[in-house]
Amino acid sequence: MHAGGTCAEDGDAKDKKSIFRGECMSKRYRFVIVLVVLAVCFVFLRPTLRWYFFIPKDQKALALEPREQIKAYASRTAQADLQRLIGIAGEGGDVPEEFSFLIKQAKKNYKNSKQKPPEKWDAKSVLEYPAFAGRREALDSIETKYREEIFAMKDLQKNAVQLGLDLSGGMSIVLKADMDALQERLGRSLNDDDRNDAVNRALEVLNSRIDRFGLTEPVIRRQGSEHIYVEIPGSADPERINSIIMGKGSLAFHMVDSEATEAFNSYYFSHPATTFDNNGELIDPTIVPADVMVLGKYIKDRYGLDEHERNPDGSLRYVAVKREIGLDGNHIRSAVAERGGWDNQPQVTFLLDMEGGEIFYRLTSANVNKPLSLVLDNRVKSIATINEPIPSGSVRLTGFGADEANNIALTLRTAALPVELGVASQQSIGASLGEDTIRQGLYALLGGIAAVLVFMLAYYRIAGINAVVAQILNFYIMFSILSAFNFTLTLPSVAGFILTIGMAVDASVIIFERMKEEMRLGKGRKGVVEAGFNKAFWAIMDSNITTFIAALFLSQLGSGPIQGFAVTLAVGVFSSVFTALFVSRLIFDFGTDVLHSKNVSVTWSRLQAEEAVGGIK
């Protein structure tokens, strides 16, 4: 009997040790999970922190400029830097620290040329061959550095939390689709499908022109049956924005006249200075047939801008195309860049509507093995050869690189507006108003957080510290998630933050009150913490699930400010549940198992949770 009792006691001791090890392992895993979540959130939040707190204002302004201005700045600054470097080389000086990247490039060029590099890298040796083939190559290296730095900041801004119109100021524009002009162009009355399709395609076109603003990403959404609402945060020129938004962007396919192209190029090679006038028109139109027009062939440069393509001899490339439109771009319904064929090469596939399919079939049947050009705003963007008649309305263009295929697909999809747009109303909001709103919203947010945290500390004593830590982490996780999704911060979003903090505190209050009830039963700290969280779990989950459902409906049925509020609220539900039930419990367990606390300081009354003699009650 005695031996059996000993064995039983030994078994109980082993079971307790096993349970203890399991609990310790569980806490360790939970701690690791919290660290991983915080690390991932920091990665999400890093672009926002860098953009708003570590990038100087002048660099921010430069990154928000349109690509044309960035190109001019990079080119102008690179030329000034090269002249400065040439002056230093003439004096026999060393390479300044800001030009140290040129030494790395020069060493690479020496290695490629298999020549012995100089013992000392001064300004003169950096500019001499074979460090660089010429001054032009050195200039390109300097310009490339500026371009990459500015585009890196531009990408950083796109990955940061954006400020809405009510916080940063800007413009709001309501556009109206001219359905009468569309009806006249189509030559028939419009039905509801025609109207919806025209406005939806206009939305896609406007979204594709976002980067041309050189601003933070605008909000573009449909408003009613014929109106489009556009918000453009930041300062900008209203006339320039209107011209960009309402630019018609004519897109069409034209057959290429190979004989006329060859004849024109021969004439242009012999008379480069007397072929065009100052307006780019032919001085002698008789050098090409009357049914042909001469257009420049354009490609994208390193800045993503159109650049007139050059022939191998350095002359500008021109193409003679038929004046008659083979296929209007408005017949294009969709276009994608993909890889296909036996060699898995990039290609562009686009679909035509029924009328466009019939027109294109007749065009391709009559012009097999002839070149077809894609013309946008009187610029030849691409040339492809018709291999066979295309009857299906699904067209595949091949012979491009991956980047060119993506550019052509975007051009086909969004270049031409399907319906003319007019300005119904336009309103400007000053940046100063935006700054005042930011300040007031920030004060309200910080004031609300401070009031809540002071109350928790004053009412729940040391347990209130637990709630404060959970609230800080809740705010951190919320903002990180919104930053990951490139969220646009507006005043309703700030209201969503404040409401979420109040809801998260409510979860802590429920847990602490349950703990008080368990303390009245005489339980020890471990039992109080475990029972308090277990009994509060479903009360917290029920309230947050119903809130999330409400936020889900608001986000789907609402728009603009209401949608921003709903998204913030929905994200806050997840983060508050995580911090209240997961992080807060881990902090309590840390106090129990690591700090060996015996009491739960959750009230000013005399209730104390103490370890009962002989075990936990």
- CATH code of 324's domain: 3.30.1360
Distances (CA, A) of 174 to 192, 219, 408, 414, 421: 21, 12, 30, 20, 10
pTM of the model: 0.69
Confidence at residue 609, expressed as pLDDT on a 0 to 100 scale: 46
Same domain, 116 and 211: no
Residue-level pLDDT at 225? 81
- Whether residues 190 and 132 fall in one domain: no
Assess if residue 465 is contained within a domain: yes
Residue (of 276, 279, 278) closest to 287 by Cα position? 276
Residue 256, pLDDT > 90, answer yes
State the Cα–Cα distance between residues 213 and 233, nearest whole angstrom.
10
pLDDT of residue 209: 59
pLDDT band of 3, cuts 50, 70, 90:
very low
pLDDT of residue 490: 77
Do residues 134 and 260 share a domain?
no
Do residue 356 and residue 473 come from a single domain? no
Question: Three-state DSSP class for 209?
Answer: coil
Residue bearing the bigger pLDDT, 175 or 10: 175
Specify the CATH number for the domain of residue 185.
Answer: 3.30.70.3400
Q: What is the distance between the terminal CA atoms of the chain, rounded to a whole angstrom?
A: 29
Q: Please, which residues have CB within 8 angstroms of residue 509's CB and are 6 or more apart in sequence? A: none
Per DSSP (E only), the strands in 145-226 are 162-163, 170-177, 219-223
- Bridging pattern class, strands 306-308 and 298-300: antiparallel
pLDDT at 330 over 80: no
Range of the domain at 120: 61-159
Please count the CA atoms within 13 angstroms of the CA of 395 that sit on its side-chain side. 34
Cα angle 490, 149, 408 (rounded to 5 degrees) comes to 80
Eight-class DSSP state of 152 = H
Claim to verify: residue 222 and residue 264 sit in the same structural domain: no
Question: Which range, of 127-141, 206-220, 467-481, averages the lowest pLDDT?
Answer: 206-220
Q: At a CB cut-off of 8 Å and minimum separation 6, what does 612 contact?
A: 522, 523, 524
Identify the CA nearest to 48 among candidates 146, 158, 198.
158
Which of 138, 31, 43 lies closest to 86, judged by CA? 138
Exposed, middle or buried: residue 361 (CB in 10 Å: 0-12, 13-18, 19+)? middle
Distance CA 38, CA 69 (A): 39
* Rounded Cα–Cα distance for residues 373 and 561 (Å): 45
Q: Are residues 299 and 217 in the same domain?
A: no
Distance, CA of 535 to CA of 24 (rounded, Å): 22
Q: Which of 246, 265, 297 is the last residue of a domain?
A: 246
Report the percent of the chain where pLDDT is more than 90: 20
Structural domains counted in the chain: 4
pLDDT reading at 130 higher than 80: yes
Specify whether 350 is located in the same domain as 499. no
**Structure tokens given for 422:** 């007019």
Q: By CB neighbour count within 10 A (0-12 exposed, 13-18 middle, 19+ buried), where does 180 fall?
A: exposed
pLDDT digit string, tens, across residues 537-548: 888 888 889 989
Q: Examine the domain organization and report whether 181 and 292 are in the same domain.
A: no
Strand-pair category, 488-489 with 162-163: parallel
175, part of any domain: yes
Residues 348 and 221 in one domain: no
Point out the domain boundary residue: 383, 403, 423: 403
CATH number of domain containing 440: 1.20.1640.10
Q: 10 Å Cβ neighbour count for 140?
A: 15
Both 344 and 362 in one domain: the answer is yes
Whether residue 436 lies inside any domain: the answer is yes
Which single residue is written with the structure tokens 């700290």? 525
pLDDT digits (tens, 9 = 90+) for 274-316: 888 887 888 888 999 999 999 999 887 888 777 889 888 778 8
| pLDDT at residue 562 greater than cutoff 50 | yes
Could you count the other beta carbons within 10 Å of the beta carbon of residue 137? Answer: 14
Of the residues 137, 159, 181, which one is the last residue of a structural domain?
A: 159
- List, in order, residues 6 or more apart from 283 with CB less than 8 Å away: 274, 275, 276, 277
Domain match, 242 and 257 both: no
Task: Return the pLDDT at 563.
Answer: 76
The Cα 585–Cα 463 span in angstroms is 11
Tell me: do 587 and 455 sit in the same domain.
Answer: yes
Task: Order the strands of the 379-385 sheet from edge to edge.
Answer: 327-328, 251-255, 371-376, 379-385
Asked whether residue 24 is domain-assigned, the answer is no
How far is residue 368's CA from residue 375's CA, in Å, rounded to a whole number?
Answer: 19
